[in-house]
Amino acid sequence: MTDRFARTDGSTTASCDLGEYCGGTWKGLINKLDYIQNMGFTAVWISPVVKNLDALTADGSSYHGYWAQDIYEVNTNFGSAADLVSLSDALHKRGMYLMVDIVTNHMGYAGCGDCVDYSTFNPFDKKSYYHPFCLIDYNNHTSMELCWEGDNTVSLPDLRTEDTTVQDMWATWIKQLVANYTIDGLRIDSTAEVDKASLKAFESAADIYAIGEVFNNNAD
């Protein structure tokens, strides 16, 4: 988790409210690459890099990176676009790989599910890009694909990933992201909650190594 790993100033004693951003950055991570490589690691997986909800809510802040609002801007709490390029370059100079966390399932909004201002989001800025609001039931697979994660404090508007328009918008973006930052791999969040055909289209557009997250409490 980028925010919790290494600050630019190198401090390990700076005070921090754990519900808020604690100051970890891409520059701080660069400064720790000797440490990481000396443990034998050959790749670094970082938090989602896009601009997130910029508000402190009752659910905390977006330090984790899973409440996206503008996928074409970077999360400046972690640094600049140039800093992210520098991280990618520093890893590749060492023969290491960069894996980036990606969320295609939802966006993030500070407010109730029935009062979302969809114009807040880029590029998915219309209500028609999303499923109607309903809170997810993780015991029902249809609900998992069609309803919303989150709660009514921070709503996570659920994208219609089954729609080809939405798929095409994601494809355009991921091609650009991979090219801009020379990304080697993706960790795709919430893959049990998106349309399965959309995953194939997204992975094809990215054209790099990808793994998907499926969270389930049943180990069997």
- Whole-number mean pLDDT of the chain? 96
Active site residue 83: no
Which of 20, 89, 163, 213 is the catalytic position? 213
Count structural domains, the chain: 1
Q: Please, which pLDDT band fits residue 158 given cuts at 50, 70 and 90?
A: very high
Is residue 218, in this structure, part of any structural domain at all?
A: no
Higher per-residue pLDDT: 215 or 23? 23
* Cβ-Cβ contacts under 8 Å for 21 (sequence gap 6 or more): 3, 61, 63, 77
**pLDDT tens-digit map of 40-93:** 999 999 999 999 999 899 899 999 999 999 999 999 999 999 999 999 999 999
pTM: 0.94
Q: Please, which pLDDT band fits residue 15 given cuts at 50, 70 and 90?
A: confident
- Which conformational region is residue 194 in: left (phi greater than 0), alpha (psi within -120 to 50 degrees), or beta? beta
Which of 3, 184, 189, 193 is the catalytic position? 189
Domain that holds residue 141: 2-212
Give the domain CATH number at 44. 3.20.20.80
Is residue 37, in this structure, part of any structural domain at all?
A: yes
Q: Which of 88, 133, 128 is nearest to 115 (CA)?
A: 133
Is residue 217, in this structure, part of any structural domain at all?
A: no
Active site residue 145: no
DSSP H or E run through 207: none
Is residue 219, in this structure, part of any structural domain at all?
A: no
Is residue 220, in this structure, part of any structural domain at all?
A: no
Between CA 162 and CA 193 the distance in angstroms is 11
